[in-house]
Amino acid sequence: MDIQLEKKKGLRPKHYGYIALGLVVLFAGWKLIFASATSTFRTEKERVSIAQVIDGKFDDYITINGNVAPIATIYMDAYEGGRVAEKLIEEGTMVKKGDIILKLENMGLYEQILASESNLALKQNDLRSTKLNFDSRLVDGRRSLATAYYDLQRLKRNYEQNQDLYQEKLISKEAYLLSKENYELAKKQHDILEVQTKQDEALSKTSLASLDGDLERMRKTLSMVYERLDHLNVRAPADGQLGFLDAEIGQNIAQGERIGQVNVLTDFKIEAEIDEHYIDRVRRDLSASLERNGNEYPLRVRKVYPEVRNGRFRIDLVFTEDKPETIRAGQSYNIKLQLGASNDALLLPKGGFFQSTGGQWVFVLGTNENEALKRNIRIGKQNSRYYEVLEGLQPGEKVITSNYDSFGTAERIVLK
The total domain count for the chain is 3
Are 112 and 177 members of one domain?
Answer: yes
pLDDT over 80 (residue 2): no
Are 393 and 312 members of one domain?
Answer: no
Domain that holds residue 91: 61-104+232-340
| DSSP secondary structure letter of residue 406 | G
Are 352 and 332 members of one domain?
Answer: no
CATH of the domain at 394: 2.40.420.20
Are 200 and 114 members of one domain?
Answer: yes
Q: Specify the higher pLDDT residue, 362 or 14.
A: 362
Residues 6+ apart with CB under 8 A from 130: 207, 208, 211
Are 300 and 378 members of one domain?
Answer: no
Q: What is the SS3 assignment for 404?
A: coil
User: Can you give the length of the chain in residues?
Assistant: 416
Residue 18 lies in a domain: no
Q: What share of the chain is helix, strand, coil (3-state, %, to 5)?
A: 40, 35, 25
Q: DSSP string of 128-141? A: HHHHHHHHHHHHHH
Are 95 and 239 members of one domain?
Answer: yes
Q: Cα(first)–Cα(last) distance of the chain, in Å?
A: 79
Q: Specify the higher pLDDT residue, 7 or 192.
A: 192
Residue 93 lies in a domain: yes
Residue 28 lies in a domain: no
Residue 25 lies in a domain: no
Are 131 and 217 members of one domain?
Answer: yes
**Widest pairwise Cα distance in the chain:** 215
pLDDT tens-place string over residues 159-179: 889 888 888 888 888 988 998
Which of 227, 246, 271 delimits the end of a domain? 227
CA distance 312 to 275: 5
Are 172 and 192 members of one domain?
Answer: yes
Amino acid at 249: I
Q: What is the SS3 assignment for 35?
A: helix
Residue 32 lies in a domain: no
pLDDT over 70 (residue 96): yes
Looking at 236-292, which runs of residues are DSSP E strands?
240-245, 252-253, 258-275, 287-292
Which of 340, 367, 385 delimits the end of a domain? 340
Q: Residue 349 belongs to what H/E stretch?
A: strand 343-349
Model confidence at 34, pLDDT cuts 50, 70, 90, reads: very low
CA distance 28 to 211: 114
Q: Beta 61-77 vs 258-275: how paired, if at all? A: antiparallel
Are 252 and 315 members of one domain?
Answer: yes
Model confidence at 1, pLDDT cuts 50, 70, 90, reads: very low
pLDDT tens-place string over residues 316-373: 999 998 888 888 888 899 999 988 888 889 999 999 999 889 889 999 999 888 999 9
Is the separation of the CB atoms in 159 and 258 below 8 Å? Answer: no
Are 136 and 274 members of one domain?
Answer: no
Are 212 and 113 members of one domain?
Answer: yes
Residue 68 lies in a domain: yes
Q: What is the SS3 assignment for 29?
A: helix
Q: What is the SS3 assignment for 53?
A: coil
Residues 6+ apart with CB under 8 A from 32: none
Which of 280, 307, 340 delimits the end of a domain? 340
Residue 1 lies in a domain: no
pLDDT over 60 (residue 258): yes
Q: Specify the higher pLDDT residue, 254 or 129.
A: 254
CA distance 232 to 81: 8
Measured from the Cβ of residue 116, the count of other Cβ atoms closer than 10 Å reads 18
Residue 11 lies in a domain: no
CA distance 354 to 413: 17
Are 321 and 348 members of one domain?
Answer: no
Q: What angle do CA 405, 409, 415 make, to 5 degrees?
A: 75
pLDDT tens-place string over residues 209-238: 777 777 787 778 777 777 778 888 899 988
pLDDT over 70 (residue 25): no
